Structure 1
Amino acid sequence: MTIALYHCEDVIDHAQRLDGWQQEFDQIEEGCFCGDIVDVTGRGLRLFRESANLGLSQSMHFPETQWHLVLPIHWPSEGLFPADAITVLPRCERFWSVATGRYDLLVVSIDRHRYGWLERDERRLRALEVAAPVLTAVRQQWQAMTDYLQAAQAHGGPPASLQPVFLHQLEEGVALLLGDCTRSPRLDDVCYRTRRYIVDRCQVLTRARPDDPPSLMSLCRQLKISRRTLQYSFQKETGQAPVHYLRALRLNAVRRSLLREPTQRIADAAARQGFFHLSYFGREYRRLFREPPSATLQRAQTQ
């Protein structure tokens, strides 16, 4: 059994902490990022708890050898991870989501040879209905276990003698959840998938021409939708207006570039994402990340 705990104050570092998960996170909410991960693995099961203080746009590819089930402790936004069910993540090349600030999720991964009935509609997001007392009991049990592990870290970590207890709680919880749930999962609704498609396509089109990003009217024309539909889709799926959300993605791209290539000029990194007015770029960068781009570059140069 392995137990790993991480506290990150950089969203890029936070995204890279889950072994086997290919992730890229963009910070879309203003502030200084702070995130925590508790990762417990043993006997074909993996439980991790992930929390962060700010809103993120998340692009992920999961390990394909396992099912991945989500139990939210706190998920402020609507739709994606309902509190009264288990959400089964789809088998896909890339899964995109927006996590609003102060989210707290439990995710359990199970080897795919177990619970073969989960293959039904495996390429779609699904919700498994579980009796409320069972769901609540397992969520509270796992939340208390991960709380204990975080607290124990300050005292040198939990005693090795407790590892069988953690593993038993994990196995028992999975058996309770999947033994008691319905085997006819609810699928994501058409309206929800349409909104996600619109936001996803806008991200793709913006990233395809980072030095000359399309205007909102251009996006509407290419997707054959109205400005109102565009605004509504972004507000429901990201909690932000499209201009703010898409600008945040471009600012994150500049930040990743500065951290990856600390010898470059800030003006060049900004220009590659369509920011040619440096005072405007600097102001928006500080607003989002609570530091000037020069501080990001200096930190990268000293690492």
Structure 2
Amino acid sequence: MTTMLEGASEPSEVIVHHKTDKVAPVRCTAITDDAHEQADNLTNWDQQYDQVSPGRFYGRIDELHLGAMQVYNEHSSHALRQQCLVWPDAIWFGIPSNREDCRVNGQSLEATDILCRPGSTQFELVTPAAFDMLGIVVREKDLMAAAAAQGIDISTEDARQVARLRLPEQTLTNVRYLIRRIVQSTPERLDGCIHRDLLMMALLETLERETPNGAVPPSYLHRKAVVERIKDYVEQACDLPVTMAELCELACVSRRTLQYSFESILGISPLQFLRVTRLNRVKRMLSTGGSDSVSDAAGYNGFYHLSQFSADYKQLFGELPSQTLARHAAPA
């Protein structure tokens, strides 16, 4: 291309390089003091969280969308039990900040494990206090198309069959560093297409080098079945059991087996599970319009001594049930 520069008597040749428009990622940050709201703040996930450890909750999600790829860091101040579901035709990869006391479907994590689950497949996470999860969700067809374009032969079968993938330590370090840097960057400092490609290459390397971790203790299947039996009953029943004897009868196991099952799968005792589940059900009702009365919501979940219930509720959530109801009441 030739152009005349202002003030010049002769044409001057100017080389103009082809420029492509920068594609800015979509970024959002959600901060909340309610674990139940935290579950709804991760875009396009279907989730339900129960707060397990006591005190006022703080949660933050920093989320980027690079085309159809979702990248995020989720922080939670308190221990949670999470029921999670990723959108269809996608695969989720998660890197926890702390593997101790973190479980996926009742399975503990080893030193270099990452988590993975396909879309439309419900899974359960148990996470400790002061916890961060780095995550990527990508459409499976995009992942396979990227592999084909690079001439890389990969399979997503391991990610479908097991919830834990073991990585070489350096691969894990590299992937963690890349995700963290991208999530922490401001959108104007990122070209969405370039960083999407960087993350896609990191995922391809992950799938090339992973080893499925399907190891579980011999007692795992039986203990998980015991816990699932109680969880299914609690989820569906209005009249909840309140004693160990009732729980043992429901699960058809001894007190010792019940105790070991809950501690190994969920990291809490069966009575603690029952108490925390009932209190979270009350809070969910008060937060979402399921009840306009504290006493009705408490009674529905088996709490009839209101003064003790209020004390237990405040201990777990850091506020009285009446305060929860008032904060979420519809404006007059």
Return the alpha-carbon distance in structure 2 between the equivalents of residues 203 and 132 of structure 1: 36
Change over 3 Å in CA distance of 1:256–1:110 after alignment to 2: same
Partner SS, residue 156 of structure 2: helix
Change over 3 Å in CA distance of 1:159–1:90 after alignment to 2: closer
Work out whether 1:298 is the aligned partner of 2:322.
Answer: no
Return the alpha-carbon distance in structure 1 between the equivalents of residues 292 and 190 of structure 2: 51
Deviations 1:27-73 (A, max 9, x none): 11101111111222224432222120101111122212111122222
Structure-1-length-normalised TM-score = 0.86
Question: Could you say which residue in structure 2 is the equivalent of 1:152?
Answer: none
Deviations 1:89-138 (A, max 9, x none): 2566532232221221112222122347213582x433323221111122
- Aligned residue among 149, 153, 156 for 1:118: 156
Q: Does structure 1 retain, via aligned residues, the 8 Å contact 2:69–2:137?
A: yes
Q: Does structure 1 retain, via aligned residues, the 8 Å contact 2:26–2:187?
A: no
Q: Which runs of 5+ in 1 are unaligned?
A: 150-156
Partner SS, residue 279 of structure 2: helix
Work out whether 1:84 is the aligned partner of 2:121.
Answer: no
Work out whether 1:63 is the aligned partner of 2:87.
Answer: yes
Q: Does structure 1 retain, via aligned residues, the 8 Å contact 2:72–2:135?
A: yes
Return the alpha-carbon distance in structure 2 between the equivalents of residues 289 and 41 of structure 1: 32
Larger radius of gyration: 2
Q: Does structure 1 retain, via aligned residues, the 8 Å contact 2:291–2:297?
A: no
Partner SS, residue 56 of structure 2: coil
Q: Does structure 2 retain, via aligned residues, the 8 Å contact 1:67–1:88?
A: yes
Report which stretch shifted further, 192-201 or 274-283. Answer: 192-201
Change over 3 Å in CA distance of 1:223–1:161 after alignment to 2: closer
Question: Could you say which residue in structure 1 is the equivalent of 2:249?
Answer: 221
Partner SS, residue 136 of structure 1: helix
- Aligned residue among 26, 46, 63 for 1:2: 26
> How far is the alpha carbon of 1:165 from its aligned partner?
4.9
- Following superposition of structure 1 onto structure 2, how do residues 101-180 of structure 1 map, counting pairs within 5 Å? 101-113=129-141, 114-115=143-144, 117-120=155-158, 122=160, 124-146=161-183, 148-149=184-185, 157-159=186-188, 162-180=191-209
Partner SS, residue 187 of structure 1: coil
> How far is the alpha carbon of 1:203 from its aligned partner?
1.9
Question: Could you say which residue in structure 2 is the equivalent of 1:186?
Answer: 213
Aligned AA for 2:62? V
Return the alpha-carbon distance in structure 1 between the equivalents of residues 158 and 187 of structure 2: 39
Runs of 4+ off more than 6 Å: none
Report which stretch shifted further, 59-68 or 160-169. Answer: 160-169
Q: Does structure 2 retain, via aligned residues, the 8 Å contact 1:8–1:36?
A: yes
- Aligned residue among 257, 266, 271 for 2:294: 266
Q: How many residue pairs align between the two structures?
A: 292
Q: Which runs of 5+ in 2 are unaligned?
A: 1-24, 145-153
Question: Could you say which residue in structure 2 is the equivalent of 1:253?
Answer: 281
Work out whether 1:284 is the aligned partner of 2:312.
Answer: yes
Question: Could you say which residue in structure 1 is the equivalent of 2:228?
Answer: 200
The root-mean-square deviation of aligned C-alpha atoms, in Å, is 2.4
Partner SS, residue 76 of structure 1: coil
Return the alpha-carbon distance in structure 1 between the equivalents of residues 194 and 155 of structure 2: 28
Q: Does structure 2 retain, via aligned residues, the 8 Å contact 1:67–1:112?
A: yes
Change over 3 Å in CA distance of 1:239–1:86 after alignment to 2: closer
Q: Percent identity?
A: 27
> How far is the alpha carbon of 1:296 from its aligned partner?
0.7
Return the alpha-carbon distance in structure 2 between the equivalents of residues 91 and 37 of structure 1: 20
> How far is the alpha carbon of 1:142 from its aligned partner?
1.6
Question: Could you say which residue in structure 1 is the equivalent of 2:42?
Answer: 18
Partner SS, residue 247 of structure 1: helix
Work out whether 1:243 is the aligned partner of 2:271.
Answer: yes
